[in-house]
Amino acid sequence: MDEVLIKAEHVSKKFCRSLKRSLWYGAQDVTRSLLPWTRQVDAEISADPDADYPFPALRTDEFWALKDISFEVRRGECLGLIGHNGAGKSTLLKILNRLIRPDTGRITIRGRVGALIELSAGFNPILSGRENIYNRATLFGFSKSEIDRKFDAIVDFAEIEDFLDMPVQNYSSGMQVKLGFAVSAQMEPDILIVDEVLAVGDVGFRFKCLNAMADLMNRSAVIFVSHSMPQVFRVATQVTVLNRGRVIISSTDVGKGVDHYLSEFNISSNIVAGSGQATLGSFHMESQNATANKGEMLRVAHGGAVTFHVGFQVDPGIPRIRIQIVVWNMEMLPVMDIMDADRRGYAVDVPNSGGVKVSARVDHIFLNGGKYILSAIAIAEDQSRIYCRDDRVGNLFVEATAASWAHTLVPAVWNLDN
């Protein structure tokens, strides 16, 4: 199926930094929109020679929240939209959902649009779950008979049978989100807009959501916004990386796009923390056939060995320190702590010069494929304080392709027992 359901051409949107001005521009825009003989784009076209599309000029305090965005999505495809906070993702979704209008360009949309964006919109806290199901479903354009038909499926999906007639304000926040998702999941959209709403509810419900989404996605053209790279990998067929409203990279090679996003991410996370009584001196690491210095990325095959060489410069008066290396995933969750045989940091005496150099060899890196961030940490011998935590020592890229969300992939020796 190759019908193009979403086609965006040169879409731009400007926002205003100052509230007072924003309201005043709003009043101007409203007035202008109500005068049938005006056209917005024709007015004040900028003379920017780099622009190959007529962009209106920015007014004082305005900036491009989105500039010159173009893409196409066909049925069955999924565009993963990634970028840091404030990159313009939500703005783009709002335009696609026809909540706000772009300032330039056009988007052609074929078919019914469903949005899994705001899961609690349209709820009235005083009313019961039953009443709210009807209200929310009507808001999304369901007819009464459609709701009657789908009511049981919604209640079943949301797992709220026992609380149907209780006011929604007494629901836990998790239950409210479940209810919201359950109603939205009943849509039969041709175009599905999904914002990062999936990390909700308990584990069982999350899987249920993901499966329901997968069903919806197969039938529609999807725009998917997420900060979770495993999710993007799993569902996206193409990615667009946004930064400050501009497209940085747009590719059908999802891995390439994600890599690009992650390398951007790195720059912004240079952190050195701790008491400052120790500072990172040298850092170096090697795998079987590659080496990397401080700040570089080391590629390693899954299961391969890596040796880390770490040097710290320690203040006088500290006789002994412990050193460890922590491995973080891209969501900044620690996934591996490299320690000594006693599951503590490796303890060493500090020589008079204050310079400490150690190395640690890990025989098998069993981390799942992907990019990881390394921190080198120096702590007091009794572990009471952190002298230095340097988060910019380098990155590890583990080469593995497996359909698994787990942090580690362990190749075991399997045997038939009967």
Partner 1 sequence: MVQSNPVPDDADRPRSTTELPEVVITPHAGLEGFTEAMRSMTRDFAQSRALAWRLFRRDISAMYRQSLLGYLWLFLPPLATVSVWIFLNQQQLVTIDTGDVPYPLFVMTGTVLWTAFNSALMAMQEIMGQARSMLSKVNFPHEALIMTAFAKALLNGLPPILLLIPVMIFYGVSIGPETLLFAFGFLTVVILGSALGLAFVPIGALYDDVGRAIQLGLRFAFFVTPVIYAMPQAPGLTRTLLTLNPLTAPLVSSRAWLIGSAEALPSATLLVFVVSLLVLALSTLAFKVAMPHLIERISA
Out of 55, 78, 88, 97, which residue is the one contacting partner 1 (CB under 8 A)?
97
Which residue lies nearer to partner 1 by CB, 128 or 282? 128
Rank residues 154 and 325 by Cβ distance to partner 1 and give the closer one. 154
For partner 1, which is the closer residue by CB, 157 or 328? 157
Q: What Cα–Cα distance (Å) separates residue 203 from each residue in 12, 231, 233?
A: 38, 15, 20
Residue for token pair 């239950």 = 175
38 contributes a contact to partner 1 by CB under 8 A: yes
**Is 117 or 396 the residue whose CB approaches partner 1 more closely?**
117
96 binds partner 1 per the rule CB under 8 A:
yes
Select from 22-30, 274-282, 301-309, 399-407 the region that touches partner 1 (CB under 8 A): 22-30
Q: How far apart are CA 120 and CA 122, in angstroms?
A: 6
C-alpha closest to that of 400 among 362, 367, 364, 374: 367
Q: Kindly state whether residue 124 participates in binding partner 1, applying the rule CB under 8 A.
A: yes
Say how far apart CA 164 and CA 155 lie, in whole Å: 8
Contacts of partner 1 in 150-189 (CB under 8 A): 150, 153-154, 156-157, 182, 185-186, 188
Residues 189-228 that bind partner 1 (CB under 8 A): 190, 204, 207-208, 211-212, 215-216, 219
| Nearer CB in complex with partner 1: 216/330 | 216
Residue (31 or 291) nearer to partner 1, CB: 31
> What is residue 185's three-state secondary structure?
coil
Site for partner 1 in 265-284 (CB under 8 A): none
**Rounded Cα–Cα distance for residues 222 and 214 (Å):** 10
Q: Which residues of 269-301 are buried (b: 16+ CB within 10 A; e: fewer)?
A: eeeeebeebbbbbebbbbbeebebebeebbebe
15 binds partner 1 (CB under 8 A): yes
Is position 36 an interface residue for partner 1 (rule: CB under 8 A)? yes
Tokens of 335: 């996934």
Q: Which of residues 379-408 bind partner 1 (CB under 8 A)?
A: none
Residue 39 interacts with partner 1 (CB under 8 A): yes or no: yes
Decide: is 95 part of the binding site for partner 1 (CB under 8 A). Answer: yes
For residues 397 and 371, the answer to whether their CB atoms sit within 8 Å is: yes
Integer Cα distance of 56 and 41 in angstroms: 6
